[in-house]
Structure 1
Amino acid sequence: MDIDVNDSTPPAPEEYPDVDGEPPAWAEDRTPLGDAIPWFRKFQGGMHTKEGILYGLLISGDAGVRSYIDDEIIITRTGGSSERDAEGKLSQVADQKDDTAISRSVNNSMKFNIAVGVVIGKKNKILKRKLPHAFNVMDYFRVAYVWHERIDGFIAVRFRLEKLELEEKSWWAEKGSPAPPRTARRKWVKPIEHICGACAQTYYRIYMQGWMCLNTSCSQFWKLPDGNDPPVELDYDPKWLDWRHDPSDEVQPHYSLVPDFMSVIDDSDPNSTYSRTSWKNGIVCPSCKQCLSRRFWDGWRCDESCGFKRVLNMQTISLRAVVDDYEVAPIRRAIVFDPGPKETALIEPEIDDVYSHPYRRLVFDLPGAGTVTHFVTNREINAKPNGPNDLFIQLQQANLGLRRYPLSQAGMPYGFVVAVDSLPFSEACDPILRVMGRLTWATHEATDKQGVTALIPNELLALGYFEDMAINYHDDGEDTLGPTIASLSLGAMAHKSLRMKYKYYNGFTKGSKKLVHDDPVLEGCANRDWRLDLKQKLDNNELDWPAYEAEWWRTYKANKSGAAREAPPCIKTQLHHGDLVVMHGDGVQKYYEHQVELEKGGGAKLRYALTARHVLPAKIEPGQWPKGQFQLTKDQDYKGT
């Protein structure tokens, strides 16, 4: 059998030929791609499946052995059961089964004629073309065939995709290449079929090296006609590659390839602009076709090279629209504490109705770490002039320049998640300074009773939440910050949870499983009794570190402690409109982490979380110090009433 083999060295990526056109949508990272393309809401992994259907696929990297891409055909494998070797190549490490969710979704897309959108990544080396962007939307394809073969000795699920629109030249075709033949002039061929003599199943001939049975339960599975195993490198049969389905076959996409989300936004309706649908969905720039997340409070903006922007009419939303209570605020909020089951017991707060009256004061003690003080507000406090009710409206009407994550910062600059611009307090609007007055009061109120002189806040971080937004577990333990952090909640209710960090809860780090030096063995950690006993022996020099480490793991295994897990929450509290929370103590941020989730249900939501802290001047450039200086007027200075 004569087989054409190209022995020439493949060109380097910079030598690949140019593509013939431009993608209908593109992105330089995964987040805007997933936000703007509904059939590929996938921020990790390469296959977007939902309810047993494959809707979108990312072709990036090497995609495994025997992968293939041309102007109309893609041949690849399903995800899972593989790892990358030392050179970064994808290797199969276990059998893939037909009954996995991914395999079922691929088969269902073929069975029910569901189109699959495909994105090609710039890291892909199979196409061997110069791709213009990191992620490029290709087109809609049909799943034409699904089969099994062996890769690295393991069963793999493979599938063949066929472009739906055959009349139009693919934008990823080589520049200057001829246009595809018209449908009426195409030569319609089908692959050669054979019946297996062992299992009587019929399969197409896929490779030039010979027909093989693709039935995994057959004794002749993945065997050449002579009974030998095929080589790793195989060549596709030309008839297999030239095979096309009849274009009249009914295959329909679930979504538009590139949706026009802007046309369905009704920004005359506040429930639309503040809803999850509006903030989570991205758009495709009508000018340059870049996928855009809604990074800005008031809409979408393309980069400077394009200049496109879609600014929403951010109408002021009322407090009544975002608070689900029968009355917007209670006369005196009831506090009912449920510690939960013993194995996940919550810390019970000390409730004080006198010291910070008219607030109800809840103090959660974290032994060895610090305290969390929750000032529960009421109708009287919220309704005062320039109080929480007014601040909620005033902040909406102020130009805070909020963006996603974090959204705005005023005062001393420091690192928080990503770099942000910091404005000096001298440029802050009146409601921001009134918020600083409240948070300064709360900082002193929470610490004075403990006999501590708190550092005056000199930085304010303002975050805005829309419907379904949340901040996952994190700490605010940057080394640039003092030990006290105060926050004010305005608008929709949120749930705050605080838990011990993994390594302090379990006694060792995640992944590497290294024991924690200077383990505090905090109340509520796993295996506290024997861990505390060993820690005391280490501190008393009864054990050196190697002996301590050996005894620690021996005891851990002897106690059948089971698999390590994340710590359960030890504090759960509801943050209502007007509530203040102060976390104080170096150990709170060192040993614990917290998350905040907006209340579910009730339609559109809006919540502001305004957090004040003290940034240590010694940690930043002296030229930045003036940013954190502020002087409150008598009206802005808050006294707790």
Structure 2
Amino acid sequence: MKILKTLPRNHPQPRQRTVSSLVVDSRKGGTVKIAVDCRAGEYKWQHWECQNCGSALQVVGKSRSPNEFWNQQNPGFMHHKIADDSGIQVSHLLSYRSETDSGHYHIYLLPQNRGRIYLILGSPRINGLANQIFQEYQEQAVSGELQFRRWPLRSHQCRGELLTNYFSQNTGEPYQYVGGTANTIPFDGAPSAVVKARNLIQSRMMSVMQAESQPYHFNEVLSAAYMEEQRMAFHSDAENGLGPRVASLSLGSAALMHFRPLKKYRKDSGGGQKCNALTLFLKHGDVLIMDGAEVQEYYE
């Protein structure tokens, strides 16, 4: 991947922009470490803008439908792949039923009581609200109501400014990675897509965690939009102030999510796929819940 050290001074050339997938990440605090690919003018989603003179060029991309992604081929397994030596135990496919919908989910029990991971499956039958949220995210990003940005990396080893390779927007509690309070909006001023996404995550979570009598309210939503073939590097949300639960809603294209022990807990200090303890195949409408502080302390 080529990384430019600084943004060129020439005006950006138009290129159609379409979203491939969205990840709506609800949590209490959190940081993200990602790879970078810095391109001129592509730091705002709704239009190309020259950072030197401020000239803007509107480029309208195609609005994607969830139906385009539903039949994507699985990577050789249906929902998960678990390493033989991971110590992770998985439940059979469980069912849930609530006042509004019903569906299925898996529970992944981490070794030594380090927490559990829930994968609540979406499906065409129950994805009506997820479809609506996906459409609203795209419309509100194009109009500028939802201000997707590529933010400068806080830490890198190159000269000059480098931007994240994905677009994001933060709502709720300030998030230092996107500039803290200056680039975070409160929930009472959030676009409808963000509010509905948080509500859907919380509703699905309460449907499978029936032992909880009181609703669990996330106080931050980080929305991230990816182009095709983009990815996020391994990271852990173990910073101070993070609550014991992190959840996400996947919208659009399917994606693989890998979990591996932190390097200090791995027998093999190398990298690569052989270190992956758990790989999940996330599709449109899936809700993922990481429950327990030790999930972040021991895994990335």
Q: Structure 2 length as normaliser, TM-score?
A: 0.72
> Distance in 2 between the 1:462 and 1:299 partners?
18
Structure-2 separation of matches of 1:498 and 1:434: 28
Report how far residue 319 of structure 1 moved. Answer: 2.5
1:360 is aligned, of 93, 98, 104, to: 104
Report the RMSD for the aligned CA atoms in angstroms.
3.3
Question: Do residues 349 (structure 1) and 94 (structure 2) align?
Answer: no
Pairing of 1:583-602 with structure 2 (within 5 A): 583-593=290-300
2:270 matched to which residue of 1? 565
Deviation readout 1:520-575 (Å, 9 max, x if unpaired): xxxxxx3xxxxxxxxxxxxxxxxxxxxxxxxxxxxxxxxxxxx7324711111111
Query: For residues 346 and 359 of structure 1, what CA distance do their matches in structure 2 show?
Result: 27
Number of the residue aligned with 1:471: 232
Matches of 2:92 and 2:7, distance apart in 1: 44
Structure 1: stretches of 5+ with no match in the other structure: 1-29, 37-135, 137-257, 283-291, 327-333, 506-525, 527-562, 594-641
Offset, 1:397 = 0.8
- How far residue 587 of structure 1 moved from its aligned partner, in angstroms, is 0.4
Count of equivalent residues = 255
Residue type of the alignment partner of 1:296: K
Q: Trace 1:605-620 onto structure 2 (pairs within 5 A).
A: none
Letter in 2 for 1:351: H
Aligned-residue offset at 1:455: 4.4
Shift of 1:348: 4.3
Aligned partners of 1:280 and 1:293 also within 8 Å = no
Equivalents in 2 of 1:306, 1:35: separation in Å? 13
- SS in structure 2 at match of 1:362: strand
Q: Which residue in the other structure is 1:621 paired with?
A: none
User: Higher RCO, 1 or 2 (CA under 8 Å, sep at least 6)?
Assistant: 2
Q: Of 426, 444, 462, which residue of structure 1 is paired with 2:206?
A: 444
Partner Cα separation in structure 2 for residue 338 and residue 300 of structure 1 = 40
Is the Cα contact below 8 Å between 1:391 and 1:431 reproduced in 2? yes
Q: Cα–Cα, structure 1 residues 469 and 411, in superposed 2: closer, same or farther, change >3 Å?
A: same
Spell out the pairing of 1:196-207 with structure 2 (5 A cutoff): none
Gaps of 5+ in 2: 21-35, 151-163
Shift of 1:447: 4.3
Residue identity matched to 1:370 = G
Q: Does 1:480 align with 2:241?
A: yes
State the match for 2:63 in structure 1: 316
Deviations 1:429-461 (A, max 9, x none): 223221121112234345444x69674211111
* Code of the aligned partner of 2:281: Q
Q: Report SS of the residue matched to 2:125.
A: helix
State the percentage of identical aligned residues: 24
Distance in 1 (alpha carbons) for counterparts of 2:130 and 2:256: 18
Q: 1:354 to 1:474 in 2, by over 3 A?
A: same
Post-superposition offset of 1:313: 1.5
- Secondary structure at the aligned position of 1:314 is classed as coil
Aligned equivalent of 2:222, options 461, 467, 482: 461
Offset of residue 415 of structure 1: 2.9
Code of the aligned partner of 2:201: L
In structure 2, how many angstroms separate the alpha carbons of the residues matched to 1:457 and 1:375? Answer: 17
Residues 587, 320 of structure 1: CA spacing in aligned structure 2 closer, same or farther, 3 A cutoff? same
Normalising by structure 1, report the TM-score.
0.36
The answer to whether the 8 Å contact 2:89/2:110 transfers is no
Distance 1:416 1:445, change over 3 A: farther
Matches of 1:337 and 1:480, distance apart in 2: 30
The question of whether the paired residues in 1 share the 8 Å contact of 2:260 and 2:275 is answered with yes
Residue 244 of structure 2 aligns to a residue whose secondary structure is strand
Bigger Rg over Cα: 1
Aligned match of 1:582: 289
Task: Give, as a single letter, the amino acid of the residue that structure 1 aligns with 2:236.
Answer: D
> How far is 1:586 from its partner?
0.8
Q: Rate the CA distance shift 1:572–1:273 in 2: closer, same or farther, 3 A.
A: closer
Asked if 1:428 corresponds to 2:190, the answer is yes
Distance 2:41 2:3 in 1: 7
- Partners of 1:417 and 1:389 in 2: CA distance: 27
Contact kept in structure 2, 1:346 and 1:569, CA below 8 Å: no
Structure 1's 281 and 484: CA in aligned 2 closer, same or farther, altered over 3 A?
closer
Q: Could you say what secondary structure the match of 2:281 adopts?
A: strand
Show the 5 A alignment for 1:124-273. Answer: 262=13, 265=15, 267=16, 273=18
* Residue matched to 2:257: 496
